[in-house]
Amino acid sequence: MNATMVASGTKSVPPVVSSIQDIPLAKIRESKTNPRRFFDEAKLVELADNIKQHGVLQPILLRPLPEGEAGTYELVAGTRRFRACKLAKRESIPATVRELNDAQALELQVIENVQRVDVHPLDEAQGYAALVELQPDTYTVENIASRVGRSPAYVSGRLRLIQLIPEAKQAFYEDKLTVAHAFEIARLQPTDQRRALQECFPQYRNAAAILKDKKAEATTVRELRAWIEREIHLDLTNAPFDPQDETLLPKGGACARCPKRTGSNPLLFPEVRQKSTCTDRECYRAKVEALVQIHAKPLEEKGENPLRVSQAPAWQANGHAKDVLFEGQYRKAKAKGECPNTKAAVLIDGKSAGSIFYLCQTDKCVVHNRVTRYQPTPQEQAQRKKEVLAERVEKQSRVRVLEAIRKKLPYALSRPDLEMVALDYFRRLGHDNHRRLSKLYAWEEKKSKTSWGEETVDYEKIAAATVQAMKAADVSRFLVVCALVSDLYCPGYNPKQSLAKDSNLARAAARHKIDITKVTATVRQDLASMSEARAVTNKRKPSTNTPSGRQELSKAKPRKQN
């Protein structure tokens, strides 16, 4: 722990001026402001054993107990040593006593805990939050960062952990979530935090089931981030409302200055490149709804109650929002009164939310019954025609190229064509058959790094090099072996299953006059001989469980030379 601290805007922590003295444990009270809440009981026992042997090597820090009786002290730093001394049945502990006010004591507690390796990030966050709450004008994020020797982004991230919902905090304390998981979840709103926690453990029904299972493992941080970007983050550049409008939703204010917008809070969202991203879906939806109400109000004043329409297709409704129409449940009308059944409607989502149009819901309408319910725009129709034409051109071109190649193929395959066929066949066999072929041909299985950082054997690369070095006759044999290798598979759930007579392997054996029964008998005899030889070897080995066996084994071992 640093003896002195450079402070700005508040009185610095005074340096150590008093000597070390032994203070009775009964005279010491633990501090209620200590940010550290989690203590590993096993490590406390280890520390107690160490204190019994070597004593307390580093004194604790005390201050006179505020408003307490004379001779009593409050523990500022060294809670683990204090508790371990109690476990070790010591009467006193070496300590340094200093005159400190509440702010100075809390600051030293926070700094002392930060310098400990095993402090939990949530306890660290509680310490920073306590400083901010004590003197918000003095202890800003930047000020705390300079005092504890961390970056402002680091301190801001730790402070955000305070916003975790209770279930996520408990999962974090129990090491079911890493600090990276916790940080990603803490940046969300409470409702979305519950969804994110469930997404981390998709195999569990609810948070209670997650916390009950001690072996619960979360998905990767990368998968969690991808889910958040896909399901939570909203692009404000596609918003139907003006992000600068402060009057649309007064309690939400303008998006440009909202701390829940990634660009407005770079300390909390340093890695998000898209700065116009909203992280509060409820606020975003409330603004969209406010916009819809503004556009629908003139119609309501005229006595027309516009129907609410979503851009989503009907199959996504899933029985919810019965007062909302979805695509496929209506036909658009060009104008009011186009048919006797036209009704006013307002779009409630998408980039065009708030748009007013007219629709017809009558299936047997004389005007609209021939009009499809899904009506693409002229631009979409033109684009679709281009796509269909490009697809037809590509398909027919490939067919004609293949037809031209087929006509020019010789009776005997050329070397490049033979290699192409062999390697293509090999690729389609699958990983298990690749391994079987590798063992059959005794290939050297060199491991190489994948794009995601793991090491694996690239069988396709090995096969490509091997096939290129083969003679034409060997490539032909390789093709036959590829056709037969899948029959090497023996299902573990049915070990007595024999080779089927109509399998490729059995038919090939018959064509080449190989007696499968005789081969099986030879294998059985070889395995029996190996088993007998192993049994004889084990009998000759001296047993280490008897004195004579241990003595014989020690004689067999060569002596070490000095």
* pLDDT tens per residue, range 180-196: 999 999 999 999 999 99
| Closest to 260 in 3D by CA, of 200, 170, 196, 190 | 190
Q: Which of 175-184, 320-329, 536-545 has the highest mean pLDDT?
A: 175-184
Q: What is the pLDDT of residue 370?
A: 66
Q: What is the pLDDT of residue 115?
A: 60
Q: Is 253 left (phi over 0), alpha (psi -120 to 50) or beta?
A: left
Distance CA 520, CA 526 (A): 10
Q: Which of 8-12, 34-38, 102-106, 207-211 has the highest mean pLDDT?
A: 207-211
Distance CA 400, CA 390 (A): 15
Q: What is the pLDDT of residue 227?
A: 92
Span of 314-323, 359-368, 545-554 with lowest mean pLDDT: 545-554
Tell whether the model's pLDDT for residue 17 goes beyond 50.
Answer: no
Tell whether the model's pLDDT for residue 559 goes beyond 60.
Answer: no
- 153 versus 372: the higher-pLDDT residue is 153
| Closest to 189 in 3D by CA, of 171, 164, 218 | 164
Q: What is the pLDDT of residue 206?
A: 87
pLDDT band at 552 (very low <50, low <70, confident <90, very high): low
Q: What is the pLDDT of residue 292?
A: 93
User: What are 68's two structure tokens?
Assistant: 């307490």
* pLDDT tens per residue, range 437-491: 999 999 988 887 766 667 788 889 899 999 999 998 999 999 999 999 888 888 7
Its pTM stands at 0.52
Strand 92-97 to 60-64 pairing: parallel
pLDDT band at 67 (very low <50, low <70, confident <90, very high): confident
**Which three-class secondary structure state does DSSP give residue 237?**
helix
Q: What is the CA radius of gyration of the chain?
A: 38
CB 361 within 8 A of CB 341: yes
Distance CA 542, CA 362 (A): 94
Q: What is the pLDDT of residue 561?
A: 44
pLDDT band at 40 (very low <50, low <70, confident <90, very high): confident
Q: What is the pLDDT of residue 194?
A: 92
Q: pLDDT > 90: what percent of the chain? A: 22
Residue owning tokens 């049994």: 535
Tell whether the model's pLDDT for residue 347 goes beyond 50.
Answer: yes
CB-neighbour burial class of residue 71 (10 A; exposed 0-12, middle 13-18, buried 19+): exposed
Residue owning tokens 């409607």: 345
Q: What is the pLDDT of residue 363?
A: 80
Full 3-state SS string of 469-487: HCCHHHHHHHHHHHHHHHH
Q: What is the crossing angle of helices 152-160 and 179-186, to 10°?
A: 80
Q: What is the pLDDT of residue 5?
A: 38
User: What are 100's two structure tokens?
Assistant: 């400190």
Q: What is the signed CA dihedral for 502, 504, 505, 509, rounded to 10 degrees?
A: 80
| Closest to 187 in 3D by CA, of 165, 167, 206 | 165
Average pLDDT over residues 92-113: 79
**Which three-class secondary structure state does DSSP give residue 369?**
coil
* pLDDT tens per residue, range 113-154: 666 656 788 888 888 888 888 788 888 888 888 888 888 888
**Which three-class secondary structure state does DSSP give residue 28?**
strand
Residue owning tokens 């975790």: 164
CB 140 within 8 A of CB 156: no
Buried b (16+ CB within 10 A) or exposed e, 245-266: beebbeebebbeebebbbebbe
Distance CA 541, CA 534 (A): 11
User: What does pLDDT average to over the chain?
Assistant: 83
Q: What is the pLDDT of residue 1?
A: 37
Half-sphere exposure of 456 (CA within 13 A, CB side): 12
Q: pLDDT > 70: what percent of the chain? A: 87
Q: Where do runs of H (alpha helix) occur along 56-120? A: 79-87, 102-114
Distance CA 558, CA 541 (A): 17
Angle 510-514-515 from CA coordinates, rounded to 5°: 95
- 1 versus 253: the higher-pLDDT residue is 253
Q: Cα 197 to chain center, whole Å?
A: 11
Full 3-state SS string of 24-59: EHHHEEECCCCCCCCCCHHHHHHHHHHHHHHCCCCC
Strand 60-64 to 73-77 pairing: antiparallel
User: What are 476's two structure tokens?
Assistant: 């032909």
Average pLDDT over residues 50-65: 83
Distance CA 286, CA 125 (A): 32
Question: 141 phi and psi, to 5 degrees?
Answer: -60, -45
* pLDDT tens per residue, range 275-310: 888 999 999 999 999 999 999 999 999 888 899 999
* pLDDT tens per residue, range 403-450: 898 888 888 888 999 999 999 999 898 888 998 999 999 998 888 776
* pLDDT tens per residue, range 26-37: 888 888 777 776
